Chains A and B, each alone.
Chain A
Amino acid sequence: MSTTALSLPSAPTNGLLRNLRIFAREARFEFVRLLRTRTFSLSVIGFPVMLYTLFGLLMNRGESLEGIAVAKYTLGSYAVFGLVGAALFGIGVGMAADFSAGWLELKRASPMPPLAYLLAKCCTAMAFGAIIVSLLTVLGIAFGHVHLTLDEYARMIAFTLTGAIPFASLGLVIALLVPLNSAPGIANLIYLPMSFCSGLWMPFKFLPHSIKVIAPFLPTYHLSQLMLGSLGAPMVGTTASHWSGLFGFTLLMLGIAWIAFRRREQNS
């Protein structure tokens, strides 16, 4: 008789499937949107590609570093550099824009599951990270004579996907605390010094002692050690310590984001 009454209370399994579909659509359009936003996609992909080409391929004369070829070593560090940029700018700046203009309010007033929105942003950062790492790998193999096993590549991608999570959380904190106008500046102010201090531009062992002391507090340090270790370079510290460093950083960021979000709520 009445179709409206029947379709309103949906079964829980049905609801989960529906939420998954909403998430998939949200993620697809978020990815498409960022890809079409040239200022984002060109810089976020172009920057690590340019730096790797310059320092890993052109300036390198077949030397090796810590037992592995420079082209392979820098592939690992610029992979981290690239994925961090994708997460910080995609989420930090992208969500700051949504927050500032009332767009997120409109979405929150709709029946959109909030988790679908957050996960879509995070997965988009992962996808950009994977694209950057794959591009660098292709460049390294084609022009830097990098020997990479399939297993090593798979591990790099796995680190990229999991490694995007702590930086997505950092992006969330930036979006919540920093107004849109200053978000890109603040993101750079965190991104560039953090990359330097973690040995992404200059191998860690060449860094001055004072910086080496700070590094364990930086997520980029932990991720780059894991990434380089998986490529055959000797790792500073243990695998477990790096994973717990990343995990702790993620928890800290999500905690700050939660407090910042609650404060926003109370003021609205």
Chain B
Amino acid sequence: MNAVIDVAESTETRQTTKTHDTVASLSDITKRYSNGVVALDGLSLDLRRGEVVALLGPNGAGKSTAVKLMMGLSTPTSGSVRIFGADPRNAAARIRTGVMLQVGRAPEMLRVREHLTVFRGYYPNPMPYADIVKAAGLEGIEDRMFGQISGGQKQRVLFAISLAGDPDLIFLDEPTVGLDIEARRGMWAEIRSLAARGKTVLLTTHYLEEADSLAHRIVVINKGRVVCEGTPAEVKSIGAGLSTPSGNVTGDVKIIRCTTTLTGKHLLAMPGVSTVELYGKTTVITSTQPESTLREMLALDQQLHSLEVQSPALEDAFLALTADRS
């Protein structure tokens, strides 16, 4: 038993030193389509071993182009793409990656089991069949035709396909679309356990909650460029306008909502307050020192009521970061 663990550990250390922890990288990528549209404009992105990275951005930001480049389905106009130090179109690199794409239609007259058999067959060392079925929660539908299962079940089969080769790098494009809450939590748990086993996961999603709870790192892109990058907490703070993307973030940003007679000018002068907005009767204040701000507000305004204190939501950050300022 101990011996087995030792072998696994030594293999891991070796891999780590060999790849210097960087599993995949996009360096200074520009992608211009033949119709003149520039999808990516000087984008750089590194994926490290064992991390879950969420790629966020509005529709048309260049997310799927970035993912396609990493899967070797497309080539950049300039810049370089490396997967495990090799070209992504290299067969050796493909054997170590798994992909889940939004597929409109898959062959419907094949059974779930048959789809998995086909994809497992592409890899020299596939993940054991039973493990895939368990990880993707396909127990009981293995013998159903793909065309006869529900949308959420199809989504889980596509997830299973991405795991077929027991890959070290997994691309998941909107993995939980159409899943019910229970199935979504199940897939999240599975993605976390993949990362815990040293696998790298790149996730694109429209569910900000998903990025918030799963990702070690969030990369927000817009118009083909990285707008900001950091842990979920960092991204939220940056989005709240309290720090420049390069600056240090305290991580203690709060949004205070209340009904108060204090004027905006007065509030802005208080310690830590960075923005004040008035929506009807409600004043919304962002503060980096929420405790002192609140103490002062409560002391000055005895009539203050309807008080709420919140952490900034990723959604607000996302909207702020990708807003069209031009």
Asked, given contacts A33-B110, A109-B71, whether A103 binds B11 with beta carbons under 8 Å apart, the answer is: no
Cβ distance B30 to chain A, nearest Cβ, rounded Å: 15
Q: Are A25 and B118 in contact (CB under 8 A)?
A: yes
A22 at the interface (CB under 8 A from B): yes
Q: Are B11 and A2 in contact (CB under 8 A)?
A: yes
Question: Which single residue of chain A is at the shortest CB-CB distance from B91?
Answer: A111
Contact residues in A for B71 (Cβ distance below 8 Å): 109
Contact residues in A for B102 (Cβ distance below 8 Å): 102
Asked, given contacts A21-B121, A109-B94, A267-B33, whether A33 binds B68 with beta carbons under 8 Å apart, the answer is: no
A61 at the interface (CB under 8 A from B): no
B306 at the interface (CB under 8 A from A): no
Q: Which of B94-133 contact A (CB under 8 A)?
A: 94-95, 97, 99, 101-110, 114, 117-119, 121-125
Q: Are A32 and B110 in contact (CB under 8 A)?
A: yes
Q: Are B73 and A108 in contact (CB under 8 A)?
A: yes
Q: Which of A26, A105, A112, A265 contacts B101 (CB 8 A)?
A: A105
Q: Are B122 and A22 in contact (CB under 8 A)?
A: yes
Q: Are B124 and A97 in contact (CB under 8 A)?
A: no
Question: Which single residue of chain B is at the shortest CB-CB distance from A2?
Answer: B11
Q: Are A103 and B117 in contact (CB under 8 A)?
A: no
Q: Are A106 and B117 in contact (CB under 8 A)?
A: no
B17 at the interface (CB under 8 A from A): no
A4 at the interface (CB under 8 A from B): yes
Q: Are A2 and B101 in contact (CB under 8 A)?
A: no
Contact residues in B for A111 (Cβ distance below 8 Å): 91, 94-95, 122-123, 165
A266 at the interface (CB under 8 A from B): yes
B310 at the interface (CB under 8 A from A): no
Question: Which single residue of chain B is at the shortest CB-CB distance from A5?
Answer: B11
Cβ distance B89 to chain A, nearest Cβ, rounded Å: 10
Residues 33-60 of chain A: 1 if any B CB is under 8 Å from the residue's CB, otherwise 0?
A: 1101100000000000000000000000
Q: Are B7 and A29 in contact (CB under 8 A)?
A: no
Question: Which single residue of chain B is at the shortest CB-CB distance from A38?
Answer: B109
Interface residues on A, range: 35 or more
Q: Which of B11, B94, B124 contacts A110 (CB 8 A)?
A: B94
Q: Are A103 and B107 in contact (CB under 8 A)?
A: yes
Question: Which single residue of chain B is at the shortest CB-CB distance from A112?
Answer: B122
Q: Which of B34, B119, B124 contacts A266 (CB 8 A)?
A: B34
Question: Which single residue of chain B is at the shortest CB-CB distance from A21?
Answer: B121
Residues 1-36 of chain A: 1 if any B CB is under 8 Å from the residue's CB, otherwise 0?
A: 110110110100000001001100110010011101
Q: Which of B97, B103, B124 contacts A106 (CB 8 A)?
A: B103
Q: Are B99 and A110 in contact (CB under 8 A)?
A: yes
Q: Are B122 and A2 in contact (CB under 8 A)?
A: no
Question: Which single residue of chain A is at the shortest CB-CB distance from B35?
Answer: A267
Q: Which of A5, A10, A36 contacts B109 (CB 8 A)?
A: A36
Q: How far is the CA of A32 from the CA of B118 in the complex (A)?
A: 13
Q: How far is the CA of A268 from the CA of B76 in the complex (A)?
A: 10
Q: What is the number of contacts between chain A and chain B, taking CB atoms within 8 Å?
A: 92
Contact residues in A for B164 (Cβ distance below 8 Å): 110
A134 at the interface (CB under 8 A from B): no
Contact residues in A for B94 (Cβ distance below 8 Å): 109-111
Cβ distance A36 to chain B, nearest Cβ, rounded Å: 4
Contact residues in A for B302 (Cβ distance below 8 Å): none
Asked, given contacts A102-B102, A106-B103, whether A25 binds B121 with beta carbons under 8 Å apart, the answer is: yes
Cβ distance B215 to chain A, nearest Cβ, rounded Å: 22
B303 at the interface (CB under 8 A from A): no
Contact residues in B for A230 (Cβ distance below 8 Å): none
Q: How far is the CA of A133 from the CA of B72 in the complex (A)?
A: 42
Cβ distance A233 to chain B, nearest Cβ, rounded Å: 39
Contact residues in A for B108 (Cβ distance below 8 Å): 37
Contact residues in B for A32 (Cβ distance below 8 Å): 109-110, 114
Contact residues in B for A101 (Cβ distance below 8 Å): 103-106
Cβ distance A178 to chain B, nearest Cβ, rounded Å: 16
Q: How far is the CA of A268 from the CA of B171 in the complex (A)?
A: 18
Question: Which single residue of chain B is at the shortest CB-CB distance from A1?
Answer: B7
B10 at the interface (CB under 8 A from A): yes
Q: Which of A210-268 contact B (CB under 8 A)?
A: 265-268
Q: Which of A18, A29, A33, A268 contacts B74 (CB 8 A)?
A: A268
Q: How far is the CA of A225 from the CA of B14 in the complex (A)?
A: 65
Additional 17 contacts, C-beta under 8 A, given A1-B10, A106-B101: A1-B7, A2-B7, A2-B14, A8-B124, A25-B117, A32-B109, A32-B110, A33-B110, A36-B109, A97-B105, A101-B103, A103-B105, A105-B73, A111-B94, A111-B165, A112-B122, A265-B74
List the 8 closest A-B pairs by CB distance, nearest first.
A101-B105, A101-B104, A36-B109, A111-B94, A109-B71, A109-B99, A102-B103, A33-B109
Query: Can you list 18 pairs linking A and B with CB atoms under 8 Å apart?
Result: A8-B124, A22-B121, A25-B118, A29-B110, A29-B117, A33-B107, A103-B107, A106-B101, A109-B71, A109-B171, A111-B94, A111-B95, A111-B122, A111-B123, A266-B34, A267-B34, A268-B68, A268-B73
B interface residues with partner A (beta carbon < 8 Å): 7, 10-11, 14, 33-35, 68, 71-74, 91-92, 94-95, 97, 99, 101-110, 114, 117-119, 121-125, 145, 158, 161, 164-165, 171
A interface residues with partner B (beta carbon < 8 Å): 1-2, 4-5, 7-8, 10, 18, 21-22, 25-26, 29, 32-34, 36-37, 97-98, 100-103, 105-106, 108-112, 265-268
